[in-house]
Structure 1
Amino acid sequence: MTVAVVLLATALVIVVALLAAAGAGKLARMDGATYPAALTHAAVTFAAVITLAATVASVFTTLLT
């Protein structure tokens, strides 16, 4: 049961990160950025969401143990 919850939570975080990255890339492109610049914005946003999720998971792990 625990493994399934961890896998589902991981999948959810990745989906949210991909959606945020796609949104950031689209907004950058609509603002007139070139494709490489928009891709850079998307990659930075994806990394930020993954980092934030890892930090929150680390804090929860520390608090719950």
Structure 2
Amino acid sequence: MTRLVAVLLAAGLVAVWAFLAAACAGVLARMDGATYAAAVTRAAAAFAAVLTLCAVVAGVLSQLL
């Protein structure tokens, strides 16, 4: 049960960080003068990048531990 709770908390934390990075990327894009469509595209790319990076790190750590 403890391992399940730790995995769920880690997944929630990753999701929060991904949303935060996406929001920051979108706001910075709008401040730079990008259109709404371009800002959403940049936010989506940042969201996907954070999730991909976390998946890669989890994969490496799972092989090491």
TM range (shorter): over 0.9
For residues 44 and 18 of structure 1, the distance between their equivalents in structure 2, rounded to whole angstroms, comes to 11
1:49 aligns with 2:42: no
What letter corresponds to residue 22 of structure 1 in structure 2? Answer: A
**TM-score, normalising length from structure 2?**
0.98
Structure 2: where are the runs of 5+ without partners?
none
**TM-score, normalising length from structure 1?**
0.98
Aligned CA-pair RMSD? 0.2
Q: How many residues align?
A: 64
Q: What is the identity percentage for the equivalent residue pairs of Structure 1 and Structure 2? A: 62
Structure 1: where are the runs of 5+ without partners?
none
For residues 53 and 9 of structure 1, the distance between their equivalents in structure 2, rounded to whole angstroms, comes to 10
After TM superposition, the structure 1 = structure 2 runs for residues 1-65 of structure 1, keeping only pairs within 5 Å, are: 1-64=2-65
For residues 8 and 21 of structure 2, the distance between their equivalents in structure 1, rounded to whole angstroms, comes to 20
